[in-house]
A and B are shown apart, each in its own frame.
Chain A
């Protein structure tokens, strides 16, 4: 049953991506408006899929790489929809939605594997830990994309060659404040995610902090974003520098999200999540 919704979500996200790409090329507002509605529909399907998975599994559906990716694309679209309400930068969808659809495609190519759900996975704190961390990551994707859009637009204006993007991208000011807001809220959720994570760890392993690679890298990511926020608020960084740093932080985040789980041993790695070995 769940797989039907997964496939439907993927198809709807692909249609929405095509719509958004058409929108950025043709600058036709109607196309953008309809793409947005399609995304909302896809998001509903995606949510239904995750809820079904949750009931089937009895635990948060992010225990392997396949599930994590689809959960991540849900988080990205959720972040996009929320930020769209406040900022109304329709062209943002032309970057975000294809990105989320791309993650869904990768997720769909990974074969389904059975997951042994150990009792500790059925904790409320784990659900909270995973949801807040993923939503935080989703919002950081928005910050990253806003940073990239800022750099493109700034380059156009500084170099005085107003190319095809000049008319399509919003003003520097709105991109900068989008970037700033996203980092703020992303940071908040990341912090909550880490605190709830340590509560889960306390319940499962008896200690709040065990220098697990994922924990260490999360801390590094957290420190990077904290440094960026500090520079912004105290020193008055903005614009280009802030955009560059948010892009840098994002690459560290992606390493923490994916790299650590594959390259390093630890109880977050997908291998150990399968339950073959005790952490």
Chain B
């Protein structure tokens, strides 16, 4: 009996020092793919490697030997001793493997639940497997199901709904204050990774202009170039506060740069047009009391962290819903898997034909009116023998293929050709690109 097996390690089972050794980049991927798919008795395989996880997914009917061979390969490739490697690995079979790959695709197994990159990475891994012709009937279908389930979970639950990065949370706040960010002006005081990230997000929201200032003017010029903005000197801050809408501060200044009095005066001239300070600096660059001024909103790094933490909690709550959707999908997939056997397929084929015969027979007999019992019998025999003759060759063919490695392919084709799984039709017609 064929088995689906998943061997892998992730951020929970292995520390980063170990993961670094096992993960592989694009330069190694061909080598790894060839090595894995070359293992004796592996039928299909897909290999996924990201900075947080390595997953080797394969089908085989000789689970024990293949499992050992894969572990052997990983140990050899990463140069980690087998004894040290094995405790960090997890091995899932059949239903558990299906569930695991569904959860990975839907970003339920990620370090940050709901982060979107993993789905893209999994799609890349699948594309490579398709290129190497190492994925076939079972894994193709498993991947298609994973992708559509991930999409469904994203749209129907809120696991990806709440921002969980500081910069992104700040931009979302901006949207709740200003509505549309289009046409807004941003002032960047000081530079830093997070400030730059926030500025990038803001630019993606089609803000009008970014002004940059820094203690060292040359650095301000550099950043202004990067964001297609304008560099201004530190002394111009006061003046520019009258015109900008969002201010991001991240200087190393020990004293606040923006004072409450200064903003109060500015607001009068601005006619209370709202002003949003994102203060990422520690110690803070904006006096906390500025938040008390009407139409001014100040968020410092701790506030933003607080939001991110509570959003992570919300995502976890949504993940419960997603797990239930995964459970349902695992059951459906397992049912389909069971049909990938010669006997059920032949039975389903015969059933379907018999049903058609009976329906057509009833119609015909009804329209023919009064027939004698012999005549009736004759018509019935005719339909039965026609279907038997038609089905004979396909059945013989499937039985003969019963032992061969290409069996799954032909079974799958037969089921599609005769539409034996009408519920599942949608998956295969939507071709994966």
Contact = CB atoms under 8 A, between A and B. Distances in A.
Given A157-B173, A157-B297, A239-B294, A173 B178 contact: yes
Given A160-B299, A171-B176, A239-B272, 12 more contacts: A157-B173, A157-B177, A158-B291, A166-B176, A172-B178, A173-B179, A235-B271, A238-B271, A238-B272, A239-B274, A239-B295, A240-B294
Given A171-B176, A172-B177, A162 B307 contact: yes
B271 A236 contact: yes
A272 interface: no
A170 B178 CA distance: 10
Contacts of A241: 294
Which of B178, B274, B295, B303 counts the most A-chain CB atoms under 10 A from its CB?
Answer: B295
Nearest to B294: A240
A171 B178 contact: yes
Given A160-B303, A172-B274, A240 B295 contact: yes
Interface in A214-236: 235-236
Interface string B279-310: 00000000000010011010100010011001
Interface residues of A, number: 18
Interface string A135-175: 00000000000000000010001101010001000111110
A91 B6 CA distance: 47
Contacts of A158: 291, 297
A166 B307 CA distance: 12
B178 A238 contact: no
B175 interface: yes
B38 to A, nearest CB: 51
A173 B177 contact: yes
Interface in B295-336: 295, 297, 299, 303, 306-307, 310
Given A166-B176, A171-B178, A172-B176, A237 B297 contact: no
Interface string A77-104: 0000000000000000000000000000
Interface of A: 153, 157-158, 160, 162, 166, 170-174, 235-241
A120 B270 CA distance: 52
List of 10 A-B pairs having minimum Cβ-Cβ separation, nearest first: A236-B271, A171-B179, A173-B179, A239-B295, A174-B179, A160-B303, A238-B272, A236-B272, A171-B176, A173-B178
Interface of B: 173, 175-180, 270-274, 291, 294-295, 297, 299, 303, 306-307, 310
Nearest to A159: B291
Contacts of A153: 176
B274 A173 contact: yes
Contacts of B176: 153, 157, 166, 171-172
Given A157-B297, A160-B306, A239-B294, A171 B272 contact: no
A29 to B, nearest CB: 12
Contacts of B175: 171
Of A170, A239, A241, chain B has the most CB atoms within 10 Å of the CB of A239
A24 B274 CA distance: 27
Contacts of B179: 170-174
Contacts of A171: 175-179
Contacts of A166: 176
Nearest to B303: A160
A238 B295 contact: yes
A158 B274 CA distance: 12
A170 B294 CA distance: 19
Contacts of B297: 157-158
Contacts of A237: 272
A237 B274 CA distance: 11
A235 B270 CA distance: 11
Nearest to B300: A160
A150 to B, nearest CB: 11
A174 B176 CA distance: 9
A255 to B, nearest CB: 28
Nearest to B297: A157
A25 B117 CA distance: 30
Contacts of A240: 294-295
Nearest to B177: A172
A238 B270 CA distance: 11
Contacts of B177: 157, 171-173
B297 to A, nearest CB: 6
Nearest to B302: A160
A231 to B, nearest CB: 10
Contacts of B274: 172-173, 239
Contacts of B291: 158
Interface centre among A160, A166, A235, A239 (most CB of B within 10 A): A160
A226 to B, nearest CB: 19
Contacts of A235: 271
Nearest to B178: A173
A239 B179 CA distance: 14
A248 to B, nearest CB: 16
Nearest to A241: B294
Contacts of B307: 160, 162
B241 to A, nearest CB: 16
A240 B177 CA distance: 13
Nearest to B176: A171
A235 B294 CA distance: 14
A10 to B, nearest CB: 35
A41 B306 CA distance: 45
Contacts of A236: 270-273
14 contacts: A157-B177, A158-B291, A158-B297, A160-B299, A160-B306, A162-B307, A171-B175, A173-B178, A235-B271, A236-B271, A236-B273, A239-B272, A239-B274, A239-B294
